[in-house]
């Protein structure tokens, strides 16, 4: 269209236009981890906490099996998947809701329980979806301070007001990799008014190998105001399919079922999920692999003079000096040039750190070798 006509048309546009509800324009849209490293011969994506082992071969086969029936709508209630999860965890399938990733469920919980002027608490370096989901409802995100990059129960309880409706707690937390022992989660729950919904986001639960950790199943089963969210994106290696689930009290399940998309889990995701949750051997191998390389990376990077926050998940948070030549931004540049994509975590209030997913042996060794060279560079000063 000629420029004169375009400008004429734009002058004719009315001044008034639709505006989003309060809160929407305060949202900083979620920026996923980078996926490319221009110029690098080979790319190692270590930026989104995906598994280096991929999904169970049985899940891939089940996924392929759906290809012959793409014209049919899926079962809107995801019955087979809920039953498979129920069998695997000993849960009543009627108290499970599946979603398009656990992001979907976190957002649905916010929509179901928050309104204009309400408050939802998350911790300083909590998962970014919590403030996004909160703001999208017109409610206010309230930040509770952490201690040593770990959720602090006293700080969360101190942040509770008359307006608090939800507490979001990632346990373990992303991007710090730290966790709260179960007795602390119980103490948090005891301190919350019954009207406050405690959302335990256990996306990384399978990776945790600590006797004092629990994902929250027991607490959900014995209370009326706790929900646990889980994902197939991490240990099950199905991030591309977008699949998560939550376990909650009957009344919360009922509320979420009323507002979720009628077919929010597609047939391929559902079939792959059923197979994945049944392949306990694959999960065990993934846990063992992660345990070995998490410890190796933590020790090897620590020896370079960098601080690594002790993690129980499938990623580590690496803290860099603020000295010119040694900063997180400069390290990121050097790593990216070699195809090693870590996650910048400035948006999480951690501008001097990078988060690294546990990767393949090749990727892990390459990161350590590259960081060793980086730390030995002569050009640091200041
Ligand atoms: C703490 C936490 N919760 C939830 C999610 C989202 O998982 P999903 O892929 O199921 O939406 C992530 C993904 O990074 C996460 O780190």
Segment 98-121, tens digit of pLDDT: 999 999 999 999 999 999 999 999
The answer to whether residues 121 and 140 touch, using CB atoms and an 8 Å cutoff, is no
Residue in the structure block whose two tokens are 């490293």: 37
pLDDT digits (tens, 9 = 90+) for 137-180: 999 999 999 999 999 999 999 999 999 999 999 999 999 999 99
Confidence (pLDDT) at 3: 67
Residue whose CA lies nearest to ligand 1 atom number 2: 203
Ligand 1 site, residue 233, Cβ cutoff 6 A: yes
**What contacts 255, CB < 8 A, 6 or more positions away?**
112, 113
Please state, in angstroms and as integers, the Cα–Cα distance from residue 297 to each residue in 185, 288, 331, following that order.
28, 14, 16
Ligand 1 site, residue 170, Cβ cutoff 6 A: yes
Distance from residue 359's CA to the centre of ligand 1 (Å): 18
pLDDT digits (tens, 9 = 90+) for 296-316: 999 999 999 999 999 999 999
pLDDT digits (tens, 9 = 90+) for 337-352: 999 999 999 999 999 9
Q: Which of 170, 231, 240 gets mutated to test ligand 1 (max ligand atoms within 8 A of its CB)?
A: 231
pLDDT digits (tens, 9 = 90+) for 8-42: 666 777 789 999 988 899 999 888 877 888 888 89
Ligand 1 site, residue 290, Cβ cutoff 6 A: no
Confidence (pLDDT) at 380: 58
pLDDT digits (tens, 9 = 90+) for 71-100: 999 999 999 999 999 999 999 999 999 999
Residue whose CA lies nearest to ligand 1 atom number 16: 174
> How many CB atoms are closer than 10 A to CB 299?
11
Ligand 1 site, residue 47, Cβ cutoff 6 A: no
Confidence (pLDDT) at 9: 66
DSSP string, 314-365: SEEEEE--SSBTSSHHHHHHHHHHTTEE-EEEGGGTEEEEEEEE---HHHHH
Omega within 30 of 0 (cis) for the link into 96: no
Query: Mean pLDDT across the chain, nearest whole number?
Result: 95
Q: Is the pLDDT of residue 6 over 70?
A: no
Q: Which of these ranges, 25-39, 264-278, 280-294, has the smallest mean pLDDT?
A: 25-39
Distance in angstroms (rounded) separating the CA atoms of residues 258 and 112? 9
């Amino acid at each position: 269209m000629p420029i004169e006509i375009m400008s004429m048309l734009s002058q004719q546009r009315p001044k008034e236009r639709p505006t989003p509800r309060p809160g929407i324009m305060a949202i900083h849209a979620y920026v996923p981890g980078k996926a490319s490293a221009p110029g690098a011969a080979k790319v190692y994506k270590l930026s989104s906490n995906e598994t280096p082992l991929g999904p169970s071969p049985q899940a891939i086969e089940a996924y392929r099996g759906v290809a012959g029936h793409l014209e049919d709508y899926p079962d809107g209630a995801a019955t087979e998947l809920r039953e498979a999860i129920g069998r695997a965890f000993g849960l009543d399938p009627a108290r499970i809701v599946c979603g398009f990733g656990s992001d979907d469920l976190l957002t649905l919980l916010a929509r179901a329980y928050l309104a204009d002027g309400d408050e939802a608490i998350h911790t300083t370096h909590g998962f970014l979806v919590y403030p996004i989901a909160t703001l999208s409802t017109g409610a206010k995100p309230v930040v509770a301070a952490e201690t040593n990059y770990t959720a602090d129960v006293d700080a969360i309880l101190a942040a509770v007001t008359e307006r608090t409706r939800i507490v979001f707690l990632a346990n373990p937390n992303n991007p710090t990799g730290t966790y709260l022992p179960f007795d602390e989660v119980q103490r948090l729950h005891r301190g919350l008014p019954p009207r406050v919904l405690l959302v335990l986001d256990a996306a990384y639960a399978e990776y945790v190998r600590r006797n004092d950790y629990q994902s929250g199943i027991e607490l959900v089963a014995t209370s009326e105001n706790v929900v646990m969210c889980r994902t197939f994106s991490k240990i099950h290696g199905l991030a591309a399919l977008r699949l998560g689930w939550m376990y909650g009290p009957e009344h919360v399940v009922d509320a979420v079922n009323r507002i979720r998309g009628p077919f929010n889990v597609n047939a391929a995701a559902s079939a792959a999920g059923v197979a994945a949750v049944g392949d306990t051997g694959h999960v065990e191998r993934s846990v063992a692999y992660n345990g070995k390389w998490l410890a190796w990376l933590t020790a090897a990077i620590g020896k370079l003079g960098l601080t690594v926050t002790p993690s129980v998940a499938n990623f580590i948070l690496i803290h860099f000096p603020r000295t010119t030549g040694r900063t997180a931004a400069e390290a990121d540049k050097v790593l990216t040039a070699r195809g090693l994509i870590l996650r910048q975590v400035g948006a999480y209030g951690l501008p001097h750190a990078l988060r690294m997913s546990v990767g393949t042996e090749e990727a892990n060794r390459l990161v350590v070798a590259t960081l060793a060279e980086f730390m030995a560079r002569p050009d640091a000063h200041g």
